[in-house]
Amino acid sequence: MSGIVSYGAYIPWYRIDRKVIYSAMGWSGSANLLPGEKAVGNYDEDSITMAVASAVDCLNGIDRNTIDGVYFASISLPYKQRQNAAIIATALDLRADIKTADFTGSTRSGTTALAAACDAIKAGSARNILVCAADCRPAKPGSSQEQAFGDAAVSFLLGDDDPIAECKGTHSVSYDFADKWMADFDKFERPTEDRWIRDEGYNKFISEAIAGLAKKQKLLPKDVFRAAYPCLYARDHAIIGKSLGLEPNQIQPHLLDSVGDCGSAYPLILLAAALEEAHAQDNIITASWGSGSDALLFQVTEKIDAIKGNRKGVAKSLTSKRMLSNYSKFLSFRNIIPVDLGVRAETGIPWDQKPLSWRHRREILGLVGVRCKKCGTPQFPAQRVCVNPACKAIDQMEPYRFSDKKGRLFTYTEDHLGFTASPPAIYGMIDFAGGGRNEFEITDCEPGGVEVGMEVEMSFRRKFTDERRGTYFYFWKAVPTRV
């Protein structure tokens, strides 16, 4: 019996009211004001960092050595040639002998990755596969995409041991439907006319996929607890459900007015939200959109109760937020407008550090230090000699992961001179629960927003970008624990 063993979600701390965008660009005539707000990734976030955050939530309390593969779905991959899923696996400190794969090319890639993981587990080629989906897409100022796009990530652990939701079946329809596309030289998405997308694609493909799945599984509308599918147009989102014979309370709320259209992650974010409200024996259908549609049926098991409340998930992430009121700052986060980096930043990076990054990959990407076998003292970075003055054992160390440990802020400073896209730069000394101390940059906070003794957790982020060499450098930062 294969299915979902665990889930996790990540919605960035920052949100922007769409009225802020419209007040800046509404004069262009191309921006139609959508209601509500949307999620905005911080300047140091991208699809990889958000996927890691959702995966950490998903793997809470789960032995990471049991994972046999990582599938990553996104249409905003930081790297075109360098496997993004392998970066995620390294950041999560997973085994080396696992399968990793990137799924891309369409907003449908999230459900495609989920279906592929289900098939692999049913075939017996893996026991547990982590599926991550995330998108952090830039949009042309004044466009309808700027209003609609939201940033978010979601992860599911698929396995064959006591799933919380069993995968009952899938059905797909595939069409080369040119609704939106990007060539390899494009920075922004190119759309066709909304009426064409809506009438010839969106309203037909999702209905066709869900109806085909229901026919395969002999499923009646009354048997469905929730149908979760993306919303491109609020009115037509309801029309699709009605055409399938579903009542309004059977359609998962679309989150377009609170998160936005989050691309490959969109249908899976809605699936996670539906699981948070579901009970044993409930049937949930999730369907995607993009070059056709995938539809998957999951039946919730009694194991769902054991996981509820132990994940941040969608509901908790939605309630913790900070409104971004500056439109120019919003544009700078996605590098859409150039920002002066200051004289110090112009020196760049004097050498390529890839060999060093490779040798210390567990330490840099996985935030793995050591713990003394003799006295149990953890320390980061890794050292040969125990820092405990009462021990000082030599070469008695074992690997110890700090990325999933919370801590307390011992002391901090706000730097208003050094450059950061979201000033000031804040640094603090972190005392980790269970032992260990080191200095980290603090992000997802405003000036005056931190205090000594506050609880923090670690978050995988972009440290800096080397555009000359086409390289992103990732490391871990501390963030205040979101309540």
Q: Report the CATH number at residue 457.
A: 2.40.50.840
- Taking Cα atoms as reference points, which of 417, 381, 419 lies closest to residue 401? 381
Q: Is 374 helix (H, G, I), strand (E, B) or coil?
A: coil
Q: Which of 333, 353, 384 is the last residue of a domain?
A: 333
Same domain, yes or no: 320 and 363: no
Residue range(s) defining the domain that contains residue 288: 3-333
Q: Return the pLDDT at 466.
A: 81
Q: How far is CA 26 from CA 140, 192, 332, in A?
A: 13, 20, 19
Q: What angle do CA 443, 71, 111 make, to 5 degrees?
A: 100
- The answer to whether residue 390 sits within a structural domain is no
The answer to whether residue 25 is domain-embedded is yes
Same domain, 304 and 196: yes
**Which pTM was predicted?**
0.94
Q: What totals of helices (H) and strands (E) does the chain contain, helices first?
A: 14, 22
Q: Are residues 181 and 267 in the same domain?
A: yes
**Has residue 413 been placed in a domain?**
yes
Is residue 411 domain-shared with residue 469, that is, in the same domain? yes
Q: Provide the token pair at 227.
A: 């149908």
Quick one: 355 and 327 in the same domain?
Answer: no
CA distances from residue 3 to 20, 130, 285, 297 in whole angstroms, order as listed: 42, 12, 13, 10
Burial (CB count <10 Å: 0-12, 13-18, 19+), residue 157 = buried
End-to-end CA, the chain: 36
Pairing of strands 128-135, 69-73: parallel
Give the model's pLDDT for residue 309: 82
> Residue 26: its pLDDT value, please?
76
Same domain, 149 and 289: yes
CATH of the domain at 135: 3.40.47.10
17 plus 160 within the same structural domain: yes
Structure-token pair, residue 201: 């694609």
Residue 339, domain member (yes or no): no
Q: Which two tokens stand for residue 66?
A: 């049991």
- How far is residue 413 from each of residues 247, 380, 399, 442, 462, measured CA to CA in Å? 54, 20, 30, 10, 21
Question: In terms of domains, do 245 and 355 share one?
Answer: no
Is residue 467, in this structure, part of any structural domain at all?
yes
**Is there a single domain that holds both residue 23 and residue 143?**
yes
Asked if the structure places residue 378 within a domain, the reply is no
Distance CA 283, CA 311 (A): 21
Burial of 65 (0-12, 13-18, 19+ CB in 10 A): exposed
Q: What is the pLDDT of residue 344?
A: 59
Residues 463 and 361 in one domain: yes
pLDDT at 345: 59
Same domain assignment for residues 240 and 350: no
pLDDT given for residue 349 in this prediction? 53
User: How does DSSP classify residue 250?
Assistant: G
| DSSP characters over 17-79 | EHHHHHHHHGGGS--PPPSSEEEE--TT--HHHHHHHHHHHHTTTS-GGG--EEEEE-SS-S-
Instruction: Provide φ and ψ at 430, rounded to 5°.
Output: -105, 125
d(CA 174, CA 295): 12
Q: Which residue shows structure tokens 């009605």?
A: 242
**Cα–Cα dist 168/283, whole Å:** 9
CB 316 within 8 A of CB 276: no
In tens digits, the chain (483 residues) has pLDDT values of: 789 999 999 999 999 999 999 998 877 755 578 999 999 999 999 999 999 999 999 999 999 999 999 999 999 999 999 999 999 999 999 999 999 999 999 999 999 999 999 999 999 999 999 999 999 999 999 999 999 999 999 999 999 988 999 999 999 999 999 998 989 888 999 999 989 999 999 999 999 999 999 999 999 999 999 999 999 999 999 999 999 999 999 999 999 999 999 999 999 999 999 999 999 999 999 999 999 999 999 999 999 998 988 899 999 999 999 999 999 999 999 888 887 766 655 555 544 577 888 888 999 999 999 999 999 999 999 999 999 999 999 999 999 999 999 999 999 999 888 778 888 899 999 999 999 999 999 999 988 889 999 999 999 999 988 887 888 899 999 999 987
| Residues 84 and 105 occupy one common structural domain | yes
Assigned domain for 396 exists: no
The two three-digit tokens of residue 24, written as one number:
């800046």
Number of domains in the chain: 2
Q: Is residue 455 part of a domain?
A: yes
